[in-house]
Structure formats: structure tokens, C-alpha cells
Structure 1
Amino acid sequence: MRLETEMKMLQAKSQAGIVKEETVGNASRFIDVSAKHTKLPHFQDGKDDLDIWLTRFERFAESNSWSRDKWSSSLCALLTGRALGCFWRLSSEQAQDYDKVKLALMNRYDLTEDGYRRMFRS
């Protein structure tokens, strides 16, 4: 009975994407998917270029098949300095929408049409 309960828990985790079920011959085994992934470094204000860092974050999230509605919560855990302050100032609803978070961050760091134009000219 205990083994059945453990199997049901592992199958539920498999459906949630926490573990992956692999079948080898007649036997199945479960592998912790989160342990295989490397972790992204924190965004360091003044050291990292936000535009490049966000592109890296998006590519990492896509390659690991993260659900897009979880991106903003994962992103906020990696922000520091002014970027974290910008995220903190957003409303609860805005903070849950990755596109709104990204837009707010890009505005904060002057990565707008006018900002890029000024950078190009200088």
C-alpha cells in the first residue's frame, strides 16, 4: 500500500513537471528534473546590461519549458538594486505579468526608443 502511494505521488509530480519518468525495458524510474538545470546568476546593477540579461533569462526559460505565467516570479528572485526597486513599485497584478515587468524594467533603465537613439548618437 505504501509503494502504491509513493507511485501515485511520483506520477503526480511527473504530471506537474517536477520529475520525469523514464522507461527502460519493463522498468520505470523517476528523475528530478530541477536538479539537472543550471541556475541563472542574479542581475547585477551597474555590471550587467539589462537588455542582454533579459534575453538570456528568456532563452533559459524557453529552453527549460517554463510556463510563461511563472516567468515574472522567477525573474523577481534574480533582481537586485534599482531593478528590484522597480519591480517592487509595480502593483500585484502588474508584477505577475512578465511583459509588464519587462516593460517597466526597460523604461527604468532607459531602454526605450529614445534611449537607444541617444546611445547610438553618443
Structure 2
Amino acid sequence: MRLETEMNMLQAKIQAGIVKDETVGNTSRFSDANPNLPHFQDDLDIWLTRSERFAESKNWSRDKWSSSLSALLTGRALDCYGRLSSEQAQDYDKVKQALMKRYD
């Protein structure tokens, strides 16, 4: 199960445009697919609102929100995301709903 969570996290980072360059050991970021936001810490409502406003300000299509923002999840939130099916993980509303349920 841990491996599956790690795989989902890696997949989210790849989809968010974060790619580890093994030859030079640094991280490359492509366009604005990688949000310049802090990682999720504790207040889900505030983090979601901030993330949604950021995505809207960058004119992201809603189908990109989930994969881009999932790269910023940590701890229980990342575990929650990792338990979703691939289809659910691509649907921002389903990700948001799962996170809200997890954090009550």
C-alpha cells in the first residue's frame, strides 16, 4: 500500500509538470503547471480556497487542477489522494470531496 501511495505521488508530480533531472540533480518546472503555493499543512478549507483562486487566476482548465495541486499534498491528505482510483484522482471535485470527508 505504501508503494502504491508513492507511485500515485510520483504520478501526480509528473502530471503537475515537476520532473526530476537525474543528470544534474535539480528539479525542472514547466510553464505554470506547477503551482507556486505552499504544501498543504493543516487548514484544508483555507488551502483549498487559496489553491482554487490560484488556479483560476492562472486560467487553468478545471481538468488540470487535481493533478497540479495534488503535488502539494502531504501526510494524511496525500494518503487520502493515494487511495483514490486513477479516474477519481483526475477529477478535482472528487479529490476535494474525499479530502473534505477525510478532514471532516
Q: Equivalent of 2:40, from 40, 43, 54?
A: 43
**Aligned twin of 2:97:** 103
- Which 4+ runs in 1 deviate beyond 3 A? none
- Give distance in 2, aligned partners of 1:101 and 1:34: 23
Q: Equivalent of 2:70, from 53, 70, 76?
A: 76
- The residue type paired with residue 92 of structure 2 is Y
Question: What residue ranges of structure 1 are gaps of 5+ in the alignment?
Answer: 1-32, 111-122
**Aligned twin of 1:59:** 53
Scaled by the length of structure 1, the TM-score of the pair is 0.57
* Bigger Cα Rg: 1
- The residue type paired with residue 79 of structure 2 is G
CA RMSD of aligned residues (A): 2.0
Question: What residue ranges of structure 2 are gaps of 5+ in the alignment?
Answer: 1-29
Say if 2:82 is the partner of 1:85.
Answer: no
Cα shift at 1:67: 1.1
Scaled by the length of structure 2, the TM-score of the pair is 0.66
Cα distance, 1:93–1:49 mapped onto 2, change above 3 Å = same
Identity level (%): 81
Cα shift at 1:34: 3.4
